[in-house]
């Protein structure tokens, strides 16, 4: 045990154990919150950015996890790691055809796909353009 011999009246502040709040008492998780148009747009913006490679991992038990590489932010020094995307929003984007999955990379416990934005198909005009009539001059 470490004690101060010279200073018998000096109190030392020892670190205390911090108690964690129970999970039930914590705020609801963002995954439980309904998808808002803003979060879906943010997810699509991240997937569309070529600097952030995005992947979906499908595990053997059927669980899906969307993630992307977060580059280092020079201002804050954070990043340089994989970050998760909300699965519900990504599944909605895939169901609506806004994102597509690439070729699978198969491991014994999981399959990984590259996620990309779907190529936009040009929509047909609502009314076909009518060519002007040509009249023959005799």
Q: What pTM does this model have?
A: 0.58
pLDDT, position 118: 87
**What separation, in Å, do the N-terminal and C-terminal C-alpha atoms of the chain show?**
117
Average pLDDT over residues 43-53: 89
Tens of pLDDT, residues 27-45: 444 444 445 556 888 999 9
* Residue that wins the pLDDT comparison between 4 and 73: 73
β-bridge mates for residue 66, sequence order: 56
pLDDT over 60 at 123, yes or no: no
Asked if residue 37 lies in contact with residue 93, where contact means CB atoms within 8 angstroms, the answer is no
Cα 15 → chain centroid? 37
Strands in the chain per DSSP E: 54-59, 64-70, 81-84, 99-101, 105-106, 110-117
């Amino acid at each position: 045990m470490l004690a101060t011999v010279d200073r018998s009246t000096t109190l030392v502040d020892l670190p205390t154990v911090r108690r964690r709040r129970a999970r039930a008492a914590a705020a609801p998780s963002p995954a439980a919150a309904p998808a808002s148009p803003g979060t879906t747009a943010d997810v699509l913006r991240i997937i569309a950015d070529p600097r952030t490679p995005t992947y979906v991992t499908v595990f053997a038990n059927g669980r899906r996890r969307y993630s992307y590489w977060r580059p280092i932010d020079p201002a804050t020094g954070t990043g340089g790691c994989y970050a998760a995307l909300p699965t519900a929003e990504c599944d909605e984007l895939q169901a609506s055809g806004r994102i597509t999955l690439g070729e699978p990379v198969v491991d014994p416990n999981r399959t990984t796909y590259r996620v990309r934005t779907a190529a936009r198909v040009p929509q047909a005009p609502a009314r076909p353009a009518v060519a002007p009539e040509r009249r023959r001059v005799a």
